[in-house]
Amino acid sequence: MSTKDAMIEFRDVHKYYGDYHALRGITGTIRPGEFFSLLGPSGCGKTTLLRTIAGFEGISSGAVLVDGRDMAGVPANKRPTNMVFQSYAIFPHLSVEQNVGFGLRKDPRPAAEKAKAVDEALEMVGLKGYGKRAAHALSGGQRQRVALARALILKPKVLLLDEPLSALDKKMREQMQMELIKLQRQVGITFILVTHDQEEALVMSDRIAVMFEGEIAQLADPETLYRRPNSRKVADFIGTMNFLPARVTGEAGDTVEVEAAGFGRFGVAASQVMGGKTSEGATVGFRPETLTILFDGSAPSDRETMATIEEVVYFGDMTYYDVRIDGTQTAVRISMRNVFGRPVLDIGARARVGWSPGALVLFR
Amino acid sequence: MKAPALRVYTIAYLVFLYAPIVLLPLFAFNDSKVIAFPLQGFTTSWFQIMWADQNLWNAIKNSAVISTSVAVFSTLLGLFAARASTRFKFPAKGAALGLIMLPLVLPEMIVAMSMLVVLLALGVPLSIFTIILGHVLLCTPFAVAILTSAFQSLDQSLEEAALDLGETPLSTFWLIILPLVMPGIISSLLICFTISLDEFIMAYFLGGNEPVLSTYIFGQFRFPQRVPAIMALGTILVCLSITLLAIAEYFRRRGIAKAGGKDTGGFL
């Protein structure tokens, strides 16, 4: 890949803290103008990786390139990146406008122009007229916006966001997610978001790198991650996925022949097959919404099987059923939309379950 | 408080603690050379006598030089130690900090005597300078304690944010760290000043012939007729100490509130 297509490039990046191997050979590129997320459980190295871009963390080997330039030996204050910190790091002894204008201190423009830039930045994040307020008197959401304005006013090539929404309540968080997406489209700057919240990553990102134990497990767009996770671990981390044991019985052209208890024999397209070539210990995975409970009068599915309802969780717009498909040992989860006129089934009820081989993923 | 016995105990304890200090101004304004009840009448002549004493002014001048120097040096050393202890990891950090804090619990008499022996062995003449050395040793642990608390309430990402916004480590220290720990610095200066001002043992052992306030007062007690004037001086010193400590505590608390932290102890 030429450097034109890469705003950030990681080349086999390793990082050790003493004996602890925090980053284990990270390779990958982040494209210009992209909303990119580093997603993973705590301790997977996602924040460390972000901090190697900012220059707060050195690397033990490999290279980090920003806009085609190797960042080795370039200190944080000389890098074309700016960061929004998890704690927001608003300078408590300065006013809102002093905070936002902090990075312009060495800017040669006259003071009036700089003041105008600060006003524009504040307007962009929805804090017009807040300039004179004391920073320590702001709410969490307002601090967040000040931190954004302070970073974006310098027009960085890359904006780094370290779990910026984790301290907000749910409603505020969802609102800020939408605002961040809009803001990113408006300014066109590459955003890199670190988050442990898979839903947040799916909602906001153009592409996501899922990280486990210092390695990138999968790097793909949200839909690919959701529909075709490349391992059980990724599938488990992103949303809910049901797993049932299966056996590979043969391969015919682009199709892998599979036999799974409760589903019988069927073929899975090669594009839906993840992992190596072994036929031992295969698993089929499917999302709760890809199975359907067939109520009387609903459209017939291409395949059907019988199941017993073991648990019912009512969510208002949705109902989650834990059902045990005949011939299987473990219950699987099915989510059904509560459209008008559709009954909610009781525990113990028998149900017809419709499924489609096209919605399954086979892990080998 | 429901138990009356506890209430009586608390009151008795406070009286025992503070009654002598209350007596100080009482006798300072009492028109009698004898420190005894009943009081004889109101006078300010003891303050006038005190004011006219050339030796006292000499001692005050020495004390001012010593206490100011000690406050500055101890706070400077405390600044380095507090920064190192809150920001960096290095080998034997615990041991190093333990040794810095040790003079808090060492018997001062022993420290003063061993310093005297070493200074004499090295041929260093006893002077104001040697008193300053001793006092810095005593005051630095206080400075470290106060400043560590100031640095601890400082979010480390503030520093990173300033770097990220284009500042150098030096300008970051100047623009962000220093203003935020400034209340702690002022508090440390005032407390070190106060401690040095009324310290006696070091001043007595290491001062040679240079009188300071504490050794001057001690010397005056040999002459009974001078005692009421000492009471007047004591009254002024108590007021001064309380004022300085109150200001120090005010700055310490303001500093913690400014940095958005929670109050975790202190001296008042």
Q: Could you tell me the pLDDT band of residue B246, with boundaries at 50, 70 and 90?
A: confident
**Which one, of A230, A233, A241, A243, lies nearest residue A275 by Cα?**
A230
Domains and CATH numbers, chain B: 60-258 (1.10.3720.10)
pLDDT at B268 over 70: no
Q: Name the region of A259 (left: φ>0; alpha: ψ -120 to 50; beta: rest).
A: beta
pLDDT at A279 over 80: no
Yes or no, beta carbons of A75 and B163 under 8 Å apart:
yes
Q: Report, as an integer, the average pLDDT of A292-307.
A: 81
**Nearest-neighbour CA in chain A from B70: distance (Å):** 29
Domains and CATH numbers, chain A: 3-233 (3.40.50.300), 240-363 (2.40.50.140)
pLDDT tens-digit profile of B201-235? 999 999 888 889 888 888 888 887 788 888 888 88
Contacts of B256 (CB under 8 A, 6+ apart): B149, B150, B153, B183, B262, B263, B264
- CB-CB: which of A86, A92, A103 is closest to B165? A103
CA distance A311 to A294: 17
**Nearest-neighbour CA in chain B from A231: distance (Å):** 36
- CB-CB: which of B157, B168, B180 is closest to A89? B157
Is the CB of residue A98 less than 8 Å away from at least one CB of chain B? no
Relative orientation angle of helices B54-87 and B213-220, to the nearest 10 degrees: 140
Yes or no, beta carbons of A93 and B160 under 8 Å apart:
no
Q: Report, as an integer, the average pLDDT of A140-158.
A: 92
Substitution target from B153, B164, B172 for chain A, most A beta carbons within 10 A? B164
**Nearest-neighbour CA in chain A from B160: distance (Å):** 7
B-proximal residues of A, 133-152, CB under 8 Å: 136, 150-151
Q: Report, as an integer, the average pLDDT of A19-41.
A: 94
CB A97 within 8 A of CB B182: no
Is the peptide bond preceding residue B38 cis, with omega within 30 degrees of 0?
yes
- CB-CB: which of A82, A83, A93 is closest to B179? A93
Query: A193 has which bridge partners?
Result: A37, A161
pLDDT at A231 over 80: yes
Structure-model confidence comparison of residues A311 and A295, the more confident one? A311
Yes or no, beta carbons of B155 and A75 under 8 Å apart:
no
Residue B176 with chain A: CB contacts under 8 Å? 91
Residue B166 with chain A: CB contacts under 8 Å? 77, 103, 105-106, 154
Q: How many CB atoms lie within 10 A of CB A26?
A: 24
**Nearest-neighbour CA in chain B from A154: distance (Å):** 8
CA distance A123 to A120: 5
CB A243 within 8 A of CB A285: yes
Nearest CA in chain A to B159: A89
Candidate from A101-115, A193-207, A277-291, B254-268 with smallest mean pLDDT? B254-268
Q: Where are the alpha helices (DSSP H) in chain B?
A: 4-28, 45-51, 54-87, 93-101, 108-122, 128-152, 156-164, 169-172, 178-197, 201-206, 213-220, 227-258
pLDDT for res A3: 46
Contacts of A226 (CB under 8 A, 6+ apart): A202, A238, A239, A287
3-state helix, strand, coil in chain A (%, to 5): 25, 35, 35
- CB-CB: which of A89, A106, A154 is closest to B161? A89
pLDDT tens-digit profile of B20-41? 888 888 888 877 777 777 777 7
- CB-CB: which of A91, A105, A151 is closest to B158? A91
Yes or no, beta carbons of B162 and A136 under 8 Å apart:
no
Q: B48-66: string of b/e by CB count within 10 Å (b at 16+)?
A: eebeebeebeebbebbebb
pLDDT for res B80: 92
Q: CA–CA distance from B186 to each of A69, A269, B197, B247, B248 (Å)?
A: 46, 73, 16, 9, 7
> What is the predicted ipTM?
0.82
Strands A35-39 and A207-212: parallel
Yes or no, beta carbons of A82 and B179 under 8 Å apart:
no
Is the CB of residue A17 less than 8 Å away from at least one CB of chain B? no
pLDDT for res B183: 85
Paired tokens of A66: 């920003």
pLDDT tens-digit profile of A32-90? 999 999 999 998 999 999 999 999 999 999 999 999 999 999 999 999 999 999 999 99
